[in-house]
Structure 1
């Protein structure tokens, strides 16, 4: 069992509050050099005196800031480099606005619009038995397999979110949807060519913490779970058939999800 030292117990600061204070100071630009370029945080020992916390506790604080994408550390270098991470604004409603070609990827379009650097890392393309949740949303029989594309989206060098898509294997087996790399025209276009154009998406949002597997993919490290938004999007074709389930895990410190709503134009006589 881990016990708190008397110094930490008496301090008005905790790991959480010290990390919150440093987040505020980083966003305020306190650690920028006079020329506006980014600098480093003071060493953990110096920060420990500021917050009246042990070096071990301050290392935990730095680890939290690193998992937020706000700082990066390098072996043998004192102090953490301040990154001043700005959350990616994610707009799920823009999915159906995508055009053919590499820009068809929603994340790529969002990143380009914000003048940021982004890339998608394909973690695995495989087939596996559908779990109960995915199988239920796709209306599959027990034991039926799904095709899966698991990838991690990286923005400004920081893993921003995981993006996993599930489609009934019987629909895409042997097609480009199962390609191990990126599909230039987009996997939604592949589905359309197979007679299953996605025309409706039903999104569900729920808060949770990242899993151990997601922590590895997001570079959070063992025990680095953070609060996240899970976005489960079920796509339907023109016949009302559920064709694809996409599960996005968006770590809270790295993402902001925004939905836009528009009032329909009134009909004549209304």
Structure 2
């Protein structure tokens, strides 16, 4: 004979509110009942009500808006099509990957170039670019927004031998983004490798992404190779895991 252990009251109330959110009774953008209202509605203490709100925040279902209250999050996940975003047809049309994806999903894209400079890269980057440890690269740091909200932080490292004194050291490298610029320099994109992991964000990443405590990120290391199998760039993406979906189409033999 087995007996089921009763859940803490805070969990029971949080689960009930979660069901209200998932059913649409509490639709995206609606305000969550205040802690005082939760106390009255569920006959719980104020401390338990605080735990209920904290539980819902930890699941990513609600978010605080300073001075306004706690609201049900709008689920507007951005789909990143890894198999299509770097297709040549987009470069030929003068469209960069991020802008192409965002606009195709009916949203507004904005790219902010926060810095471009020549640096010695971290060892893990030099290894992936097949460069000596003391080699120089051009580092481009960008912040990507969809509908005004930061969704991705991207740092791109390009060997100085490729990017030095070219448009790749400019804020706008030209129509089609950096991969069109690569092709203009004789480096045709032939294949890509991506390493994906989930982790908790560093403090500054969470702050820039506007992520609630407990929100994980997707960490994507993207490596591009040209027609001679020379690594062209390493791009390090940090994406909010609750606002991005990664899709991959993998051919089989």
User: Which bracket does the TM-score occupy, shorter chain normalised?
Assistant: 0.7 to 0.9
Instruction: Work out whether 1:254 is the aligned partner of 2:243.
Output: yes
CA RMSD of aligned residues (A): 3.1
Q: Which residue of 2 aligns with 1:73?
A: 65
Give TM-score scaled by structure 2 length: 0.80
2:142 to 114, 134, 151: 151
2:156 to 126, 150, 165: 165
- Measured after TM superposition, the shift of residue 100 of structure 1 is 3.2
| Structure-to-structure mapping, 1:37-116, within 5 angstroms | 38-47=29-38, 50=42, 54=47, 56-57=50-51, 60-61=54-55, 64=58, 68=60, 70-71=62-63, 73-75=65-67, 77=68, 79-97=69-87, 98-100=89-91, 104-116=95-107
Structure 2 residue runs of 5 or longer lacking an equivalent are: 1-6
Give TM-score scaled by structure 1 length: 0.76
Instruction: Work out whether 1:141 is the aligned partner of 2:132.
Output: yes
- Measured after TM superposition, the shift of residue 185 of structure 1 is 3.1
Check 1:252–1:185 CA distance in 2 against 1; reply closer, same or farther (3 A cut): closer
- Measured after TM superposition, the shift of residue 108 of structure 1 is 1.9
Equivalent residues, number = 243
What SS does the corresponding residue of 1:96 show, helix, strand or coil?
coil
**Runs of 4+ displaced beyond 6 Å:** none
Q: Which residue of 2 aligns with 1:230?
A: 219
Residues in 1 aligned to 2:34 and 2:221: alpha-carbon distance in whole angstroms:
41
Which structure has more RCO (C-alpha within 8 Å, separation ≥ 6)? 2
2:9 to 9, 12, 15: 12
